Protein backbone atom coordinates (compact mmCIF):
# COMPACT_ATOMS: atom_id res chain seq x y z
CA UNK A 1 0.00 0.00 0.00
CA UNK A 2 1.36 3.41 -0.95
CA UNK A 3 1.53 6.42 1.34
CA UNK A 4 -0.69 8.27 -1.14
CA UNK A 5 -4.26 7.01 -1.46
CA UNK A 6 -6.58 7.95 -4.28
CA UNK A 7 -10.31 7.32 -4.60
CA UNK A 8 -12.14 6.21 -6.58
CA UNK A 9 -9.87 3.90 -8.58
CA UNK A 10 -12.21 3.99 -11.56
CA UNK A 11 -14.80 6.56 -12.59
CA UNK A 12 -17.13 6.74 -15.55
CA UNK A 13 -19.01 9.97 -16.01
CA UNK A 14 -21.10 11.71 -18.60
CA UNK A 15 -20.18 15.09 -19.97
CA UNK A 16 -22.85 16.84 -17.89
CA UNK A 17 -21.95 15.17 -14.59
CA UNK A 18 -20.10 16.65 -11.65
CA UNK A 19 -17.71 14.41 -9.75
CA UNK A 20 -14.71 14.75 -7.47
CA UNK A 21 -11.45 12.86 -7.15
CA UNK A 22 -9.91 12.52 -3.71
CA UNK A 23 -6.31 12.15 -2.63
CA UNK A 24 -4.86 11.68 0.84
CA UNK A 25 -1.20 11.43 1.77
CA UNK A 26 0.05 9.83 4.98
CA UNK A 27 3.69 10.86 4.57
CA UNK A 28 3.71 14.22 6.33
CA UNK A 29 4.66 15.97 3.11
CA UNK A 30 4.14 19.66 2.48
CA UNK A 31 3.45 19.67 -1.25
CA UNK A 32 0.77 17.91 -3.27
CA UNK A 33 0.26 17.63 -7.02
CA UNK A 34 -2.22 16.55 -9.68
CA UNK A 35 -0.83 14.96 -12.84
CA UNK A 36 -2.63 13.71 -15.94
CA UNK A 37 -1.38 10.58 -17.71
CA UNK A 38 -2.76 10.00 -21.20
CA UNK A 39 -1.86 7.23 -23.60
CA UNK A 40 1.26 7.95 -25.62
CA UNK A 41 1.98 11.22 -23.79
CA UNK A 42 4.37 12.01 -20.96
CA UNK A 43 3.01 12.81 -17.53
CA UNK A 44 1.52 16.32 -17.52
CA UNK A 45 1.56 18.51 -14.43
CA UNK A 46 -1.81 20.11 -13.69
CA UNK A 47 -1.70 21.73 -10.27
CA UNK A 48 0.70 22.15 -7.36
CA UNK A 49 -0.09 23.02 -3.77
CA UNK A 50 2.54 23.91 -1.18
CA UNK A 51 1.42 24.25 2.43
CA UNK A 52 -2.20 24.34 1.15
CA UNK A 53 -1.52 27.26 -1.20
CA UNK A 54 -1.77 26.76 -4.96
CA UNK A 55 1.57 27.58 -6.54
CA UNK A 56 1.05 26.25 -10.05
CA UNK A 57 -1.82 26.02 -12.50
CA UNK A 58 -0.35 24.60 -15.67
CA UNK A 59 -2.89 26.18 -18.06
CA UNK A 60 -5.55 23.70 -17.04
CA UNK A 61 -9.11 24.30 -18.32
CA UNK A 62 -11.54 25.64 -15.74
CA UNK A 63 -13.64 22.47 -15.92
CA UNK A 64 -10.97 21.06 -13.58
CA UNK A 65 -11.07 22.72 -10.16
CA UNK A 66 -8.61 21.73 -7.43
CA UNK A 67 -9.12 22.08 -3.71
CA UNK A 68 -6.61 21.60 -0.91
CA UNK A 69 -8.23 21.96 2.53
CA UNK A 70 -5.06 20.92 4.35
CA UNK A 71 -1.61 19.60 3.49
CA UNK A 72 -2.79 15.97 3.68
CA UNK A 73 -5.82 16.15 1.40
CA UNK A 74 -6.28 17.17 -2.19
CA UNK A 75 -9.39 17.12 -4.36
CA UNK A 76 -10.00 17.55 -8.06
CA UNK A 77 -13.54 18.65 -8.86
CA UNK A 78 -14.73 17.79 -12.34
CA UNK A 79 -17.63 19.28 -14.30
CA UNK A 80 -18.72 19.34 -17.93
CA UNK A 81 -15.74 17.28 -19.03
CA UNK A 82 -14.99 16.27 -22.59
CA UNK A 83 -14.21 12.75 -23.89
CA UNK A 84 -10.58 13.82 -24.46
CA UNK A 85 -10.30 14.31 -20.70
CA UNK A 86 -10.41 10.55 -20.28
CA UNK A 87 -7.08 9.60 -18.70
CA UNK A 88 -5.39 8.37 -15.55
CA UNK A 89 -5.28 11.15 -12.96
CA UNK A 90 -2.40 10.80 -10.55
CA UNK A 91 -1.94 12.52 -7.24
CA UNK A 92 1.53 12.93 -5.79
CA UNK A 93 3.16 14.45 -2.76
CA UNK A 94 6.68 15.54 -1.89
CA UNK A 95 8.41 16.71 1.25
CA UNK A 96 9.14 20.09 -0.26
CA UNK A 97 8.91 21.86 -3.61
CA UNK A 98 11.95 20.91 -5.62
CA UNK A 99 14.88 18.83 -4.42
CA UNK A 100 12.71 15.92 -3.25
CA UNK A 101 11.08 13.07 -5.12
CA UNK A 102 7.40 12.80 -5.87
CA UNK A 103 5.47 9.94 -4.30
CA UNK A 104 2.49 8.92 -6.41
CA UNK A 105 -0.82 7.29 -5.67
CA UNK A 106 -2.22 4.59 -7.94
CA UNK A 107 -4.45 7.04 -9.76
CA UNK A 108 -8.07 7.32 -10.79
CA UNK A 109 -8.89 5.94 -14.22
CA UNK A 110 -11.43 8.40 -15.61
CA UNK A 111 -13.63 7.69 -18.61
CA UNK A 112 -15.83 10.48 -19.96
CA UNK A 113 -18.70 9.26 -22.10
Residues that bind other proteins (CB under 8 A): 2, 4, 6, 31, 33, 40-43, 45, 48, 50, 55-56, 58, 90, 92, 97-99, 101-107
Smallest distance from the beta carbon of 81 to other proteins, in angstroms? 21
Smallest distance from the beta carbon of 92 to other proteins, in angstroms? 8
Q: Which is nearer to other proteins, 92 or 110 (CB)?
A: 92
Give the 3-state DSSP-derived string for the chain, with helices as H, strands as E and coil as C.
Answer: CCCEEEECCEEEECCCCEEEEEEEECCCCCEEEEEEECCCCCCEEEEEEECCEEEEECCCCCCEEEEEEECCEEEEEEECCCHHHCEEEEEEEECCCCCCCCEECCCEEEEEC
Smallest distance from the beta carbon of 12 to other proteins, in angstroms? 17
Amino acid sequence: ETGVTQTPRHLVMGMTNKKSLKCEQHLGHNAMYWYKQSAKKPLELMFVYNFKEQTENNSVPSRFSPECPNSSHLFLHLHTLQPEDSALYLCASSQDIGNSPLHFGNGTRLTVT
